[in-house]
Structure 1
Amino acid sequence: MSDLPRQAGLLSLADFIRFFIKTLIGIALARILSPADLGTYRQLFLIYGTLSGILLLGFPQGLLYFIPKSEDLEHTKRLITRTMHVVSILAVLCALIIFFTRFLIARSFNNPDIAQLLIPYSIYPLFLFVTQMYSSIMLGLKQPLKSASFAIFAIACDFILVLGSALIFEDMRYIVGALILSALLQWLWAEWGIRHLKTGWSLSNFTGFKEQLAYTIPLGLSLLVGVLSVQLDKLMISGFFKPEDFAVFSLGAMELPLIGILVNSVNSTALPHMSSGNKTELAAIFSASVRKNSIIVFPLASVFFIFATEFMIFFYGAIYASAALYFRVYLLILPLRVATYGIVFQALGKTRLVMIDSIIMLCLNAILNFVMIRLYGMVGAAIATVIVSWLIVIVYLLQMRYSLGFKLLSMFPLKSMLINLCAALLPVIIVLPVSGFITHTFLRMFLGGSLYMLLYFAIARVLKVIKPCDIDLALSFVSGIWKRGK
Structure 2
Amino acid sequence: MNRSILSVILIIGRGLALTLNLLTVVILARLLSVAEYGLYQQVWLFYLLFSPIFQAGLPASIIYFLPNFSSTDRKSIVFQTMLLLMAFGALLSLASVMLSDFVLADYSEEAVGDYLYSFLLYPIFSLPIIFFDSLLIVLKKAKQAVFFTIYLALIHFVSIIIPTYLGLGLSTTFFCISIGAALNFIVVLIYLLWEFKGVMFRWSLPILRNQLQYSIPLALSSIIGTLNRKIDFVMISFFFSVEVFAVYSAGAFEIPIVGVVMGVIISITVPEFVRLLRDDKKQELLRIWKSSITKVSLIFFPLFIFLFVNAKDFIEVLFTSKFQNSHLIFSILIFTLPLRIANYGSLLQSFGKTKLIFRYSIMTLVMNVILNYIFIKTFGFYGAAVSTVVSMYFMNILQLRAGGRLLGIRITEMMPFKNLGIVLLYSFVPFVLTLPVSSLLSEYAATVRITVIAVLYGTIYFALMVGLSPFKMDIREVVWSFVNRNKTSS
Please give the TM-score of this superposition, normalised by the length of structure 1: 0.94
Task: Kindly indicate whether the alpha-carbon contact (under 8 Å) linking 2:30 and 2:320 is maintained by their aligned counterparts in 1.
Answer: yes
Match of 1:253 in 2: 252
Task: Kindly indicate whether the alpha-carbon contact (under 8 Å) linking 1:252 and 1:324 is maintained by their aligned counterparts in 2.
Answer: yes
Supply the RMSD in Å over aligned alpha carbons.
2.1
Match of 2:52 in 1: 53
Instruction: Please tell me the residue identity of whatever aligns with 2:375.
Output: M
Q: Distance in 1 between matches of 2:140 and 2:365?
A: 33
Task: Kindly indicate whether the alpha-carbon contact (under 8 Å) linking 1:142 and 1:269 is maintained by their aligned counterparts in 2.
Answer: no
Match of 2:463 in 1: 458
Q: CA deviation at 1:172?
A: 0.8
Q: Distance in 2 between matches of 1:418 and 1:299?
A: 12
Q: CA deviation at 1:330?
A: 1.0
Q: Can you list the C-alpha shifts for 1:149-204, whole angstroms capped at 9, x where unaligned?
A: 221111111222211111112511221122111111111112112225498886x5
1:94/1:348 CA distance change after superposition, 3 Å: same
Task: Kindly indicate whether the alpha-carbon contact (under 8 Å) linking 2:104 and 2:237 is maintained by their aligned counterparts in 1.
Answer: no
The gaps in structure 1 that reach 5 residues or longer are none
Q: Distance in 1 between matches of 2:237 and 2:416?
A: 41
Match of 2:377 in 1: 374
Q: Can you list the C-alpha shifts for 1:207-255, whole angstroms capped at 9, x where unaligned?
A: 2322211211111111211111111111111111122211111111134
Match of 2:78 in 1: 80
Q: Tell me whether 376-385 or 460-469 shows the greater mean CA deviation.
A: 460-469
Match of 1:68 in 2: 67
Q: Distance in 2 between matches of 1:240 and 1:258?
A: 31
Q: How do residues 66-465 of structure 1 correspond to structure 2 at under 5 angstroms?
A: 66-70=65-69, 72-107=70-105, 112-196=110-194, 197=196, 204-276=203-275, 277=277, 278-406=281-409, 408=411, 411-438=414-441, 439-440=443-444, 441-461=446-466, 463-465=468-470
Percent sequence identity is 28
Task: Kindly indicate whether the alpha-carbon contact (under 8 Å) linking 1:419 and 1:463 is maintained by their aligned counterparts in 2.
Answer: no
Query: Which secondary structure does the structure 2 equivalent of 1:275 belong to?
Result: helix
Q: CA deviation at 1:454?
A: 2.3
Match of 2:29 in 1: 30
Q: Distance in 2 between matches of 1:244 and 1:478?
A: 47
Q: Tell me whether 380-389 or 158-167 shows the greater mean CA deviation.
A: 158-167
Q: CA deviation at 1:271?
A: 1.5
Q: Tell me whether 153-162 or 460-469 shows the greater mean CA deviation.
A: 460-469
Q: Tell me whether 401-410 or 6-15 shows the greater mean CA deviation.
A: 401-410
Q: Distance in 1 between matches of 2:473 and 2:168?
A: 50
Query: Which secondary structure does the structure 1 equivalent of 2:130 belong to?
Result: helix
Q: Distance in 1 between matches of 2:287 and 2:107?
A: 46
Q: Distance in 2 between matches of 1:447 and 1:316?
A: 19
Please give the TM-score of this superposition, normalised by the length of structure 2: 0.93
Q: Tell me whether 366-375 or 398-407 shows the greater mean CA deviation.
A: 398-407
Q: CA deviation at 1:95?
A: 0.7
1:483/1:316 CA distance change after superposition, 3 Å: farther
Task: Kindly indicate whether the alpha-carbon contact (under 8 Å) linking 1:19 and 1:258 is maintained by their aligned counterparts in 2.
Answer: yes
Q: Can you list the C-alpha shifts for 1:420-462, whole angstroms capped at 9, x where unaligned?
A: 1111112222323420220221121111122222222233345
Query: Which secondary structure does the structure 2 equivalent of 1:333 belong to?
Result: helix
Match of 2:476 in 1: 471
Q: CA deviation at 1:403?
A: 4.3
Q: Distance in 1 between matches of 2:270 and 2:486?
A: 24
Q: Can you list the C-alpha shifts for 1:389-431, whole angstroms capped at 9, x where unaligned?
A: 1111211222122344245566422211101111111222232
Q: Distance in 1 between matches of 2:63 and 2:76?
A: 15
Q: Distance in 1 between matches of 2:173 and 2:304?
A: 33
Task: Kindly indicate whether the alpha-carbon contact (under 8 Å) linking 2:22 and 2:256 is maintained by their aligned counterparts in 1.
Answer: no
Task: Kindly indicate whether the alpha-carbon contact (under 8 Å) linking 1:274 and 1:282 is maintained by their aligned counterparts in 2.
Answer: yes
Q: Tell me whether 9-18 or 168-177 shows the greater mean CA deviation.
A: 168-177
Q: CA deviation at 1:295?
A: 0.3
Q: CA deviation at 1:11?
A: 1.5
Query: Which secondary structure does the structure 2 equivalent of 1:310 belong to?
Result: helix
Q: Distance in 2 between matches of 1:308 and 1:231?
A: 21
1:139/1:408 CA distance change after superposition, 3 Å: same
Task: Kindly indicate whether the alpha-carbon contact (under 8 Å) linking 1:33 and 1:170 is maintained by their aligned counterparts in 2.
Answer: no
Task: Kindly indicate whether the alpha-carbon contact (under 8 Å) linking 1:4 and 1:270 is maintained by their aligned counterparts in 2.
Answer: no
Q: CA deviation at 1:133?
A: 2.9
Q: Tell me whether 85-94 or 475-484 shows the greater mean CA deviation.
A: 475-484
Task: Kindly indicate whether the alpha-carbon contact (under 8 Å) linking 1:81 and 1:205 is maintained by their aligned counterparts in 2.
Answer: no
Task: Kindly indicate whether the alpha-carbon contact (under 8 Å) linking 1:215 and 1:349 is maintained by their aligned counterparts in 2.
Answer: yes
Instruction: Please tell me the residue identity of whatever aligns with 1:176.
Output: F
Q: Distance in 2 between matches of 1:138 and 1:459?
A: 36
Task: Kindly indicate whether the alpha-carbon contact (under 8 Å) linking 1:111 and 1:243 is maintained by their aligned counterparts in 2.
Answer: no
Instruction: Please tell me the residue identity of whatever aligns with 1:336.
Output: L
Q: Distance in 1 between matches of 2:256 and 2:470?
A: 23
Instruction: Please tell me the residue identity of whatever aligns with 1:64.
Output: I
1:207/1:406 CA distance change after superposition, 3 Å: same
Match of 1:10 in 2: 9
